[in-house]
Copies of this chain bind each other. A is one copy, B any other.
Amino acid sequence: MKRATRQRSAIRAAIAAAGRPLSPLEVLEGARSDVPALGLATVYRNLRLLLDDGEIQGVNLPGDNVRYELAGHDHHHHFQCLACQRVFDIHACPGDLQRLAPPGFVVEGHDLTLYGYCADCRASAVGGQGVRAVGVGACS
């Protein structure tokens, strides 16, 4: 059975407090304010457990490692900053994507990621250097 440990709560809390998908390392940093001695391996182990339990869900972005966020949120999408690489939640949706699918195909769900510059990065550094986002199109 799954126990209630300090580290597990800290990890859960860190993800809940973030409000955006966190990488395992970010989870570690966040959770260490509660449990300073927390180990990275423990973070990975717990992320796996929480994933299997459906408490959190993975967010997979091209050119970046998997991030995690609480499951059960409203349906939403993500915006990744090409400069600082941070990922933000977008609580909006293009809607009606069934029309994009070929005839005979049934759309059950979708995944949308926007790329660009967040308010912070757009304000300061203007150039998007060293960016290597995969699969970023240009018809937006």
* Residue from the list B57, B109, B128, B134 in contact with A140, Cβ < 8 A: B109
Interface stretch (choices A9-17, A25-33, A93-101): A93-101
| Chain B residues in 8 Å Cβ range of A78 | 135
Instruction: Say whether, besides A76-B137, A134-B51, A138-B75, A104 and B119 are in contact (CB < 8 Å).
Output: yes
Query: How far, in Å, is A129 (CB) from chain B's closest CB?
Result: 13
A123 to B61, CA, bound (A): 31
* Residue from the list B94, B108, B134 in contact with A115, Cβ < 8 A: B108
A111 interface residue per 8 A CB criterion: yes
Q: Could you list 24 A-B pairs, sorted by A, with CB under 8 Å?
A: A48-B132, A51-B132, A58-B134, A59-B135, A60-B60, A76-B137, A77-B100, A79-B105, A79-B107, A88-B102, A88-B105, A90-B101, A93-B100, A94-B100, A95-B140, A97-B114, A103-B119, A104-B118, A104-B122, A106-B117, A109-B136, A109-B138, A109-B140, A111-B135
